[in-house]
Amino acid sequence: MIILNYCNILFKNFGRLSDMVDIDWDSLGFEIKPAKKMFISHYRNGRWDDGKIVNYGPFEIYPSACVLNYGQGIFEGMKAYRTKDNRVAMFRPHENARRLRNGCRRLCMPEIDDEFFVSSIVALLRENVEYIPPYGKGDLYIRPILFGSGQVLGVQPAEEYTFMIFMSPVGPYFKSGFK
C-alpha cells in the first residue's frame, strides 16, 4: 500500500528485514554498493518508451554521444529509508521530479513526466527492497540520471536520450558528522 502526504511517500508491507542482503550495516559508508537492479528508458522518435528494469551493470554508449562531448546531462539524488515501524519512505520525490523537469527544459532535453519519474523509482524500489538498510543504519541512495545519448557533432541538443536510475545503500556522507 502506498500512502501519500505532503512531504513523504510511505510504503507499508514493503519487504521483510529477514530478506535483506548480507551487508555490514554498522560500517556502511557513503560509497557505491550497487543494488542488483536498475531502471532504463530511452527517448527516440519524439517519445519516451515505457522503460524496463534490468540487472545493474555497464551499458553501451556511442563515443559521439552528446553527453560525452557536450555535457548534455542532468541528475538528481534522493533517498529511501526505513521508519521505526519498518515502512519505507522517500522524502518529497515529486520535488525531485520537478527539479529534473526544470533542468531538462534548461538543457533542451525532453522532460520526464512526474508520475513516470516517481512510479519508475517505486518499481525499482520493489526490486531492490532488500538493499534498504534497517532503521537507523543508513539509507538507500537513489540516483536518477537523464542524458543525451544520441550522436551529435557540433553544439546542438541530441535527438535521443536515456533516463536511468540506480540505487545503492549508503551510510552518512561525513562518517564523523558534519562540522
C-alpha 116/C-alpha 24 separation (Å) is: 33
Q: What is the pLDDT of residues 131-161, one digit of tens each?
A: 999 999 999 999 999 999 999 999 999 999 9
Phi, psi of 148, deg, nearest 5: -75, 105
Q: Is 116 helix (H, G, I), strand (E, B) or coil?
A: helix
Q: What is the pLDDT of residues 8-47, one digit of tens each?
A: 566 665 655 556 788 889 889 999 999 999 999 999 999 9
Q: Answer yes or no: are the C-beta atoms of 146 and 112 closer than 8 Å.
A: yes
C-alpha 154/C-alpha 42 separation (Å) is: 22
Instruction: Tell me what percent of the residues of the chain surpass a pLDDT of 90.
Output: 75
Better-scored residue on pLDDT, 7 or 174: 174
The pTM (predicted TM-score) of the whole model is 0.89
C-alpha 105/C-alpha 127 separation (Å) is: 30
The domain limits of the chain are 2-12+35-170
**The CATH number, out of the four listed (3.30.460.10, 3.40.30.10, 3.40.50.300, 3.30.470.10), of the domain defined by the range 2-12+35-170:** 3.30.470.10
